[in-house]
Structure 1
């Protein structure tokens, strides 16, 4: 399975929803809390093509986008193939 990284903040409902989906699927992911590590926000924005909202989700080197995009991939049956190594 490809590594998954998600940039979040603690008060973000969309972040919690995205993490819930990943947890339900048994996907291990690393989380970067930009509230606790504000210096990482610039890194997130660079990787996400200027997007500044959380969550920003990456599967391997692929930028998935936010929570809506993650759930969209799941509904379309495209998330599992993306996660496979």
Structure 2
């Protein structure tokens, strides 16, 4: 199973939906980085992704994007291969 990293905040409904989708797909562990608790990590996320919104999701080193991007990958049948399924 690849490593899943998700930049998130504590009150983000799209972060919750992304986590639910990934869990439904069999992901057991998500490395959540709370940017609302650590401003340095927020800067890291913006530099790394070029985006300001959460969630920002990585599967290993592949930047998926946000929840809408994750759901679009799933609808296109491209999420399972990324997850090694």
TM over 0.5: yes
Tell me the number of residue pairs that the alignment of Structure 1 and Structure 2 aligns: 84
Report the 3-state secondary structure (helix = DSSP H, G, I; strand = E; otherwise coil) of the residue aligned with 1:32.
strand
CA RMSD of aligned residues (A): 1.3
Question: 2: distance between equivalents of 1:53 and 1:59?
Answer: 17
- Superposed, 1:9-48 pairs within 5 Å as 9-27=9-27, 28-48=29-49
Pairwise CA distance, 1:36: 1.5
Aligned to 2:54: 54
Pairwise CA distance, 1:39: 1.4
Aligned to 1:76: 76
Deviations 1:43-85 (A, max 9, x none): 111211x101000000111100000000011111100101229
Structure 2 unmatched runs, 5+: none
Ranges of 4+ aligned residues in structure 1 off by more than 6 Å: none
Structure 1 unmatched runs, 5+: none
Question: 1: distance between equivalents of 2:61 and 2:47?
Answer: 13
TM-score w.r.t. the length of structure 1 is: 0.92
